[in-house]
Structure 1
Amino acid sequence: MLKEQIELLKKEVIEYSLFIENIIKNNIEGIEKNNRDILIQIIEKDEPKTNLIEIEIENKCIDLIARYQPKAIDLRMIIMSLKMNNDLERIADHSANIANSSLYIIERPEIKEMKSIKRMSEEVLDMFEDSIKSFIQMNANLASAVYKRDDYIDKLRLTILKSLIGTIRTNPDNVESIFHIERITKNLERIADLTTNLCEDIIFIVEGKIIKHKNL
Structure 2
Amino acid sequence: MKEKFHEYLENIKKDLIFLSNQVEHNIHQSIKAFVTNDEKLAKKIIDDDKKIDRTEVEIEDKFLGLLAMQQPVAVDLRFTVGGLKMNNDLERIGDHAVTIARTVINIDAGKILETKDDIPALGEMACKMLHLAVNAFIHQDAELGRQVCKMDNEVDDFYDGFVKRTIEVCKKDRDKLDNGFHYVRIARSLERIADHSTNISEDVIFMKEAKIIRHHFQE
Same fold (TM over 0.5): yes
Partners of 1:192 and 1:106 lie apart in 2 by 27
| Equivalent of 2:209 in 197, 203, 207 | 207
Contact residue 26 and residue 38 of structure 1 kept, 8 A = yes
1:32 is matched with 35
| Equivalent of 1:82 in 77, 81, 84 | 84
| Equivalent of 1:149 in 143, 148, 151 | 151
5+ residue gaps, structure 2: none
Contact residue 144 and residue 199 of structure 1 kept, 8 A = yes
1:136 is matched with 138
Contact residue 112 and residue 176 of structure 2 kept, 8 A = no
TM-score by length of 1: 0.96
Q: Secondary structure at the match of 1:114?
A: coil
Identity of aligned residues (%): 36
| Equivalent of 1:126 in 125, 128, 143 | 128
TM-score by length of 2: 0.95
**Displacement of 1:35:** 2.0
1:42 is matched with 45
Matched, 1:91 2:93: yes
Partners of 2:149 and 2:114 lie apart in 1 by 29
2:174 is matched with 172
Change (3 A) 1:120 1:98: same
Matched, 1:183 2:206: no
Contact residue 87 and residue 198 of structure 1 kept, 8 A = yes
2:165 is matched with 163
Return the letter of the residue paired with 1:118.
P
For residues 70-103 of structure 1, give each alpha carbon's deviation from its aligned partner in whole angstroms, at most 9, with x where no partner exists: 1111111111111111111111111111111122
Contact residue 108 and residue 177 of structure 1 kept, 8 A = no
**Displacement of 1:11:** 0.6
* Number of residue-to-residue matches in the alignment: 215
Cα root mean square deviation, aligned? 1.1
Matched, 1:2 2:15: no
5+ residue gaps, structure 1: none
Contact residue 202 and residue 213 of structure 2 kept, 8 A = yes
**Displacement of 1:106:** 5.9
Contact residue 86 and residue 203 of structure 2 kept, 8 A = yes
Contact residue 24 and residue 125 of structure 1 kept, 8 A = yes
